[in-house]
Amino acid sequence: MRAIQKNSQMRRFLIATTASALLFFTAGEFAYAQCSKNWARKCITKVSPFTHNGQINTVQLREGQKTESVLTFNSGQDYRILVCAEETLENVSFVVYDMKGRLVFDSKTKNNTDVWDFKVKTTTQLKVIVDGGKNENSKGTATGCVSVLVGFKSS
């Protein structure tokens, strides 16, 4: 009898876990769907005069939320990182760290710029962390699409 009870409890646990996982992944896809490819395309022009590398990292953020991406940059090229955010997120900023955790760039120290141009001497990976910021007249509920784009040009 106990074996049947445990089996039944395990079955309910697995069903609940599976349902939760499906809801989580579906919600993530729904959030991404709200940030359509058309949204990010309007940001690509801001990469100029650099050539867009073809990758678009887009996420829907709520103010105060952060997202991070690890990107690889090849030696001997100039790069531009562009963080493009919807106007509903008023104070988006980003920082860049090397893989040893050293701060390489902070947009807040550069008048909250949305671009960073730099040259890479050796192939390296960098971590880009985007902060949705806090809106001045909001209750923390503002959301919007944020895209991180990379442009390059050979030196």
Answer for the pair 142, 63: CB distance below 8 angstroms, yes or no.
Answer: yes
- Tokens 């991070």 map to which residue? 68
pLDDT in tens, 2-46: 555 545 554 544 444 443 333 333 333 334 447 876 777 788 989
pLDDT tens per residue across all 155 residues of the chain: 555 554 555 454 444 444 333 333 333 333 444 787 677 778 898 999 999 999 888 999 998 899 999 999 999 999 999 999 998 888 999 999 999 999 999 999 999 999 999 999 999 999 999 999 887 776 768 899 999 999 999 76
Residue 80 burial (C-beta neighbours within 10 Å; 0-12, 13-18, 19+): buried
Distance CA 53, CA 137 (A): 36
Counted residue by residue, the chain has a size of 155
Distance CA 52, CA 152 (A): 7
Angle CA 129–133–137, to nearest 5: 170
pTM: 0.74
Could you give phi then psi for residue 82, rounded to 5 degrees? -120, 130
